Amino acid sequence: MRGSQKGLKILQNACEKLSGLGTNIVSYPLCGAPLTASTSSSSTIDSRTAAFLAANACESKKANSTVVLDVSKVTLLADYFVITGGESAAQIRAIVEAVDDALSSQGLKAKSIEGKTEGRWVLLDFGTVIVHVLQEKERNFYKIEQFWNHALIVDREEWVEE
């Protein structure tokens, strides 16, 4: 399977996972069908804090170009997207583990982790926060930040830990 086909398969799997969550119906263009989005969380932290924890976990593993998007006004899928990159499958997996550990330690468990085996594009779904970890080739091809260009980019100074 070629890279673009793998990425689409990851997205398709994520769409299938999302379709069984929550009660709010949303139309997600990449999935091509109505989905339900989770609106509840058993975590004691808010989605903004969770997104910032995830972004800092990415940075702790030397991730490339981490971006936090506030998508709460443009979709019901999540409140925040964290998009970041890695140089290799091993680094991608290390970033994914760091994010999962950081949010799990705060009581926020991943509802789904897709693409971890391949390590080219991994999607972590925490309900109100979705984390995309991509290798450079996939990130340049899919251009997730451009697709969600109506979302607000959270200034790095607001979330980065020194």
Helix, strand, coil percentages in the chain from 3-state DSSP, rounded to 5: 40, 25, 35
State the sign of the Cα–Cα–Cα–Cα dihedral 5, 11, 15, 18. positive
CA atoms within 13 A on the CB side of 68: 24
Contact 122, 115 (CB under 8 A): yes
Nearest to 108 by CA among 24, 23, 21, 46: 46
- Mean pLDDT, rounded, of the chain: 81
pLDDT for residue 11 is more than 70: no
Q: Please report the beta strands in the chain, taking only residues with DSSP state E, as ranges in sequence order.
A: 24-28, 33-37, 64-70, 80-86, 112-114, 121-125, 129-135, 152-153
Which pLDDT score is estimated for 160? 87
- For the stretch 107-127, pLDDT in tens is 999 999 999 989 999 999 999
Domains and CATH numbers, the chain: 38-159 (3.30.460.10)
Residues 6+ apart with CB under 8 A from 150: 73, 74
Query: Facing residues of 129 across strands?
Result: 80
CA nearest 41: which of 78, 86, 10? 78
State both tokens at 8: 């689409």
Show the tokens assigned to 60: 């702790």
pLDDT tens-digit readout, 37-84: 333 445 578 999 999 999 999 999 999 999 999 999 999 999 999 999
The full length of the chain comes to 162
Which whole-number Å values give the CA distances from 48 to 38, 72, 129, in the listed order? Answer: 16, 10, 8
CA 32 to chain centre: 19
